[in-house]
Every structure is written in structure tokens, then in C-alpha cells.
């Protein structure tokens, strides 16, 4: 006698089977906030479902008012950090990215720009790292810093339980030199002399009130305390002090940070892995080195990330995880 399964039960069985099949590839998206005791920092967690706790990456954004997704009102809407987090999650790597103190939904943590400093941002990375290390859903912690975030991560790493650090498009020279290089050729001679004068004052620890209108966004008085703290740091020296495995990733078509910077970081820490990616620009997309396509990439969140970037970062993290298992 043939026994037929009731339709409702059959439908339920099929649903459960499909969910079970989909579970290994599913990704949880959750808010992930941090109460620092002097301000709430808002973040986002991407957690791939896994039978064992996955490694977790703390993504540290670049300079200025860059939010957790990588968007910046002065630098474009391109979501490079969100896209990187998504790509890593697809490969079984969890991540937390966050709005920096004083930015986006973390604005209330530092409503006055004058109160920001490199030390404050470093302390925040340490606090995030300690929280992630206590979370039983994760195995290993990896710091990933982009641009100025590479410096912040490098300064914070010795105070954290991070087991690896990845610097993407990180400067290898003091940031006042980087700014001078970026301004050279983009400003007329008179304005360039004014900018050099202001930068020299900030390097010496002195604020300036006589900012030309053309430089007001970059060198406004409210951001000068932060720049003074930033100009005191040497990215290569900070990177060279690290005692954990490190990866340096740099695009050859980056118009903000160059291959020479990546090579300077590697000279400072010769055991670092160095990956140079043909065609990749500062926001991790493949774009020409000059022209409208380079600039338009900064405002196109739908452009895919450079494939070699995702492969290099995920391979470095997962190899570290495998090495940990073998110990």
C-alpha cells in the first residue's frame, strides 16, 4: 500500500530542506555598536553562518568624514568598505565596520571636530578590538586599515589582541608630505606657497587662522588640531614596529597613495607580504590612472572591487586561520 505525504507536511519538508541547503552560504547583517564610556560608536556586523567561529576583520576607514561603508561627502559615494565586507563574508570571513567618532551615526560621540585626534581614533580601535576578542562568535581578529586607517590600525595593533594586520593603500611617509605632493600641480604657485606655509606651521604644532578660501575645506581651523596630531606620526615607523604577520596591498593606478609608499612600508617591515595590483585605484576599483573614468569611479558604488584585492586579502586571512588550526 502506497502512503502519500500530506501536502502541508511535504511543503514544510521542502522548505526545511532548502533552508538547510542555504544555511552555509547565508550571511547575517546586524547592528554592532560600541559604548566607549565617552560616546557611542555605531557599527555593522556581517557574519557568515559557519559550523565553527570564523575569523573577524575590523575595518578601519580612511581620512576625513568617511563612514562605515566608505562614503565621504568630499571623497565620493562608492561604498568600498561595504563591498569589501560583503566580499569577505562570501568567503567565510566576518567583519565589523563602523562610523568613526564624529562621523555619520557616531556624530554625537564627538560633535566638535576640534576634539578629534589620532590618539582618540587609536583608542577607539583598541576598544573595538577588545570587544571583538571577547565575542565567542569569532575566532581570530585581523585589523584591516585603508589609507589613513592603515596608520591608525598600525598604531593601535600593539595594544590589541589582533593576530594579523592588512594595510591597503596606506601611506609610507608622514602625511604632511603626502598632502604637499597631492597639492603640488593642483594649486597655482601663490596658493601652493600659502598651503606650504600653513602645513609647516601645523607640523611645528601651531594652528593658523589665515587660511585662504581655496584651502578652507582642507585646512579649516576646526580640523587643525587633528592634523597637528596626524603630522607627528610616521606611518613607516609605526608599521615597522609591528610584531604580527602583515600584508600590504597597493594599486598601481592610485592617484592618492603610490607604489613607493607600499615599498616604504615593506622596507620598514621586510617580512611583510606585498601585493601590487595593476589598474587598481585608491577606492579599490579598476580604473585608468587619469581622466574622467578615474574620477567617476569615486562616485560609482556599483563598480566591482578589484578581484585580485579580494583574493589577496581573503587568502592571507584564511591561510592564517589554517596555520592557527595546525598549531
Question: CA-to-CA distance for 309 and 239, rounded, in angstroms?
Answer: 20
For the chain, what are the domain ranges? 26-174+235-325, 175-232
Grid coordinates belonging to 141 = 581578529
* DSSP run (H or E) holding 168: strand 164-168
Residue 136's φ and ψ, nearest 5 degrees, are: -70, -5
Other C-beta atoms lying within 10 Å of the C-beta of residue 276: 15
Q: What angle do CA 94, 161, 109 make, to 5 degrees?
A: 75
Each residue's pLDDT, cut to its tens digit, for the chain (327 residues) gives 443 444 544 444 443 333 333 334 699 999 999 999 999 999 999 999 999 999 999 999 999 999 999 999 988 999 999 999 999 999 999 999 999 999 999 999 998 999 999 999 999 999 999 999 999 999 999 999 999 999 999 999 999 999 999 999 999 999 999 999 989 878 999 999 999 999 999 999 999 999 988 899 899 999 999 999 999 999 999 999 999 999 999 999 999 999 999 999 999 999 999 999 999 999 999 999 988 899 999 999 999 999 999 999 999 999 977 776 666
Task: Report how far apart, in Å, the C-alpha atoms of 157 and of each of 19, 44, 214 are.
Answer: 39, 21, 37
Q: Which three cell numbers stand for residue 319?
A: 591561510
For residue 81, CA distances in Å to 18, 60, 99, 284 come to 31, 9, 11, 9
pTM: 0.90
**Confidence at residue 322, expressed as pLDDT on a 0 to 100 scale:** 73
Task: Give the class (CATH, top level) of 26-174+235-325.
Answer: alpha beta
Contact of 84 with 284, CB cutoff 8 Å = yes
Residue 283's nearest CA partner among 97, 80, 147 is 80
**Smallest Cα–Cα separation from 142: which of 105, 185, 174, 94?**
94
Q: pLDDT value at position 325? A: 66
Q: Are 281 and 297 in contact (CB under 8 A)?
A: yes
DSSP strands (E only) in 17-110: 27-31, 34-35, 40-41, 43-48, 56-60, 94-98
How far apart CA 117 and CA 221 sit, in angstroms, is: 14
How many angstroms separate the first and last alpha carbons of the chain? 57
User: What is the reported pLDDT for 17?
Assistant: 38
Which alpha helices (H) appear in 135-258, and where do they start and end? 148-156, 175-183, 189-203, 216-219, 224-231, 235-240
Q: What is the pLDDT of residues 98-114, one digit of tens each?
A: 999 999 999 999 989 99
User: Residue 76 in 3-state DSSP?
Assistant: strand
| Angle, helix 80-90 to helix 307-325, in steps of 10 degrees | 50
CA distances from 115 to 109, 122, 209 (A): 10, 14, 17
Residue pLDDT, tens place only, 3-20: 344 454 444 444 333 333
Cα R_g (the chain), whole angstroms:
22
Q: How far apart are CA 107 and CA 320, in angstroms?
A: 35
Amino acid at each position: 500500500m502506497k502512503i502519500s505525504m500530506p501536502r502541508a507536511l511535504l511543503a514544510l519538508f521542502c522548505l526545511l530542506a532548502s533552508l538547510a541547503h542555504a544555511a552555509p552560504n547565508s550571511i547575517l547583517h546586524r547592528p554592532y555598536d560600541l559604548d566607549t564610556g565617552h560616546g557611542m560608536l555605531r557599527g555593522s556586523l556581517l557574519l557568515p553562518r559557519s559550523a565553527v567561529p570564523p575569523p573577524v576583520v575590523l575595518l578601519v576607514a580612511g581620512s576625513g568624514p568617511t563612514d562605515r561603508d566608505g562614503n565621504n561627502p568630499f571623497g565620493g559615494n562608492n561604498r568600498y568598505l561595504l563591498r569589501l565586507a560583503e566580499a569577505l563574508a562570501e568567503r567565510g570571513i566576518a567583519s565589523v565596520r563602523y562610523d568613526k567618532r564624529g562621523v555619520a551615526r557616531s556624530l554625537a560621540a564627538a560633535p566638535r571636530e576640534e576634539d578629534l585626534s589620532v590618539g582618540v581614533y587609536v583608542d577607539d580601535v583598541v576598544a573595538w578590538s577588545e570587544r571583538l576578542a571577547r565575542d565567542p562568535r569569532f575566532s581570530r581578529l585581523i585589523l584591516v586599515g585603508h589609507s589613513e586607517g592603515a596608520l591608525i590600525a598600525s598604531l593601535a595593533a600593539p595594544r590589541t589582541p589582533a593576530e594579523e594586520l592588512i594595510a591597503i593603500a596606506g601611506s609610507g611617509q608622514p602625511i604632511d608630505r603626502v598632502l604637499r605632493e597631492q597639492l603640488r600641480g593642483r594649486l597655482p604657485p601663490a596658493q601652493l606657497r600659502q598651503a606650504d606655509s600653513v602645513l609647516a606651521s601645523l607640523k611645528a604644532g601651531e594652528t593658523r587662522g589665515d587660511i585662504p578660501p581655496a584651502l578652507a575645506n582642507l585646512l579649516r581651523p576646526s580640523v587643525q588640531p587633528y592634523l597637528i596630531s596626524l603630522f607627528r606620526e610616521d606611518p613607516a615607523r609605526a608599521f615597522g614596529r609591528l610584531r604580527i604577520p602583515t600584508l600590504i596591498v597597493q594599486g598601481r593606478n592610485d592617484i592618492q597613495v603610490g607604489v613607493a609608499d607600499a615599498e616604504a612600508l615593506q622596507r620598514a617591515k621586510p617580512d611583510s607580504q606585498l601585493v601590487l595590483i595593476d589598474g587598481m585605484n585608491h577606492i579599490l576599483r579598476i580604473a585608468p590612472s587619469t581622466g574622467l573614468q578615474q574620477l567617476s569611479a569615486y562616485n560609482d558604488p556599483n563598480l566591482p572591487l578589484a578581484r585580485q584585492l579580494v583574493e589577496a586579502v581573503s587568502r592571507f586571512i584564511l591561510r592564517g586561520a589554517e596555520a592557527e588550526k595546525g598549531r
